[in-house]
């Protein structure tokens, strides 16, 4: 995956903002000449990965193009979140089926509690953090420096 963004700031400032952002995200930055090597934790919902790639800030004067190229990485599931959602789904079955099986009536409050608990513990905290979001954060950091 390759993404790029243009900035009206010298390359040195963009590179420092990118380095600070990668480190703030819990990633690693290694200088390797024109292209720097990055290891970046990324996530998409319940999936997480540690992506590696290269980042390059090139330009002249006050024009800079920041390019980030991430190599494919293996994704893994956030198992505690999946477990909470699975328990909530099982408890929600009681909420759906209780009109047909009155014996499940006492489990309805548990099903509702599990559904709200899953929402607050898992769904409300889901986020996407990838290459585009990294460059958005770098842009915000650069704009904060130039103002």
Give the closest residue to 4 by CA, choosing from 64, 85, 86, 84.
Answer: 64
pLDDT at residue 123, rounded to an integer: 87
Q: Quote the crossing angle between the two packed helices 131-146 and 11-24, to the nearest 10°.
A: 120
Q: Are the C-beta atoms of residues 135 and 3 closer than 8 Å to each other?
A: yes
pLDDT at residue 146, rounded to an integer: 52
pLDDT at residue 147, rounded to an integer: 43
pLDDT at residue 134, rounded to an integer: 94
Average pLDDT over residues 54-69: 91
pTM attached to this predicted model = 0.77
The H or E element that residue 86 is part of is helix 79-97
Listed in sequence order, the DSSP H helices in 98-130 are: 108-121
- For the chain, strand residue ranges (E) read 2-7, 28-30, 36-44, 47-60, 63-70, 76-77, 128-129
Token reading at 99: 């009109």
Average pLDDT over residues 15-40: 92
Give the closest residue to 7 by CA, choosing from 78, 80, 57.
Answer: 57
Token reading at 128: 């996407």
Average pLDDT over residues 92-110: 89
Residue 126 has pLDDT above 60, yes or no: yes
């Amino acid at each position: 995956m390759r993404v790029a963004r243009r900035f009206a700031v010298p390359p040195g400032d963009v590179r420092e903002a990118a380095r600070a952002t990668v480190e703030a995200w819990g990633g690693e930055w290694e200088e390797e000449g024109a292209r720097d090597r990055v290891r970046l934790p990324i996530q998409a919902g319940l999936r997480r990965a540690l992506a590696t790639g290269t980042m390059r800030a090139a330009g002249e004067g006050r024009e800079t193009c920041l390019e980030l190229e991430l190599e494919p990485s293996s994704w893994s599931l956030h198992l505690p979140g999946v477990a909470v959602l699975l328990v909530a789904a099982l408890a929600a079955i009681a909420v759906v089926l209780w009109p047909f099986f009155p014996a499940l009536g006492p489990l309805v409050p548990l099903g509702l509690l599990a559904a709200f608990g899953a929402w607050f513990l898992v769904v409300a905290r889901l986020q996407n953090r990838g290459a585009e979001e990294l460059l958005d954060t770098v842009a915000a950091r650069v704009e904060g420096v130039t103002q």
